[in-house]
Amino acid sequence: MKDNLIFDLLKEEKHRQKSGLELIASENFVSKQVLEAMGSVATNKYAEGLPGKRYYGGCEVVDQIEDAARDRLKTLFNAEWCNVQPHSGAQANAAVMLACLNAGDSILGFDLSHGGHLTHGSSVNFSGKLYDPHFYGVEKETGIVDMDKVASKAKEVKPKMIIAGASAYSRDWDFQRFREIADSVGAILLADISHPAGLIAKGLLNDPIQHCHVVTSTTHKTLRGPRGGIIMVGKDFENPFGIKTMKGNLRSFSSLLDSGVFPGTQGGPLEHVIAAKAVAFGEALTDDYLKYTVQVTKNANAMANEFVKRDYHLISGGTSNHCMLIDLRNKNITGKDAENALVKADITVNKNMVPFDTQSPFVTSGIRIGTPAITTRGLKKSDMIKVVDYIDQIVKNPDNESIQQEVKKEINKWMTSYSLYPKVKYPTSELI
């Protein structure tokens, strides 16, 4: 018997995605073949271990799928080693930390309230509970990370690990300088590139692979794959912790990272997700994907410029990647109220703390906006003026239901020209 409750709800979600403007910087729309792989028979297969080294039989086919995913990812980022099994970016970070740190070791990450991520040392997260977290942040005047202050903080706390990366930071990262700082204090340098990974892969932003000991990322967001995580190493090396094999040889750094994933933090990998990752990595190797990432940055810059023209306070004054963090305090509205008002007009953003925020994390003074999803839909640079105008109308009139309904009507009509999944002909088409 068909589960009408769930499938009716999925139809509602399909309608929501098709009808509105998706501006959450973490979200994107995968291709129909990524969806096919996600909904494939690979979901039935248990495969603990690595290809060729499984703890279950019958893995001959999924081994080939996972090898394809690994080969494509290594080509995409010019990495010597990778692991495609982490269930999420958070799981990838947890695996790396387990492999490199002991409980109570100090870590230096980007302050959550300044745009960092929960897994970079937040007190409510495993990273802040298991390890000794310290933080760097942005300058109040510029909204940009001062690398000299990062160096000073590293010298002060002598962390075992430094994390470069963010959840809401609109500028590029100086990975070379981070590596110099890490080397000066004997720290492992982890780059978490979950947000800009797709732009980095196509050479539009600084490359962490050649500078950082280890790199993690999600596979959704700008990479436009299924929700999941990855770990990469540019060039493998002997682990610096003196950990040896049973034969007395120093273990490679990559082998420690592998063990951090399984058996360290996960059981069986999700082979249907890995199949979808392989598909997405293949797509990311194409010229069409390069054109897409270029358009993401063009759209983001155009949108940021339009917000600035309308007297919106963008942290750092603009963007160098796909996203922007907007301080709404000069608009006399909280992030929470802005988010709620915008969603009534079928505009999806997320409330977000801004540096030196005066509101609680549940309310916030800002919103975060990104262009990956609307770029996938087909919107161009010239469309950004229209998008910002809609947002501006709602933010200025958060309690005006008639304006909300009028904007919603216009957006719904506009989005009919940008089909999510044209010409889908496989069995699950009613849901996409």
Question: What residues are labeled active site?
Answer: 46, 48, 192, 218, 221, 227
Residue listed under structure tokens 């910087």: 25
Strands 106-110 and 132-136: parallel
CB atoms within 10 A of CB 311: 9
Nearest to 265 by CA among 120, 97, 108: 97
What sign has the CA pseudo-torsion 221, 109, 356, 176? Answer: negative
**What element of type H or E holds 100?**
helix 89-100
Distance CA 425, CA 429 (A): 6
Distance CA 271, CA 254 (A): 21
150, 142 contact by CB (below 8 A): no
Distance CA 144, CA 149 (A): 11
Q: How far is CA 160 from CA 132, 133, 255, in A?
A: 10, 10, 19
Distance CA 66, CA 184 (A): 37
Distance CA 100, CA 161 (A): 8
Which residues sit opposite 109 in a β-bridge?
A: 135
Nearest to 250 by CA among 259, 236, 238: 238
Distance CA 15, CA 384 (A): 23
Q: How far is CA 168 from CA 81, 139, 180, 356, in A?
A: 28, 15, 24, 14
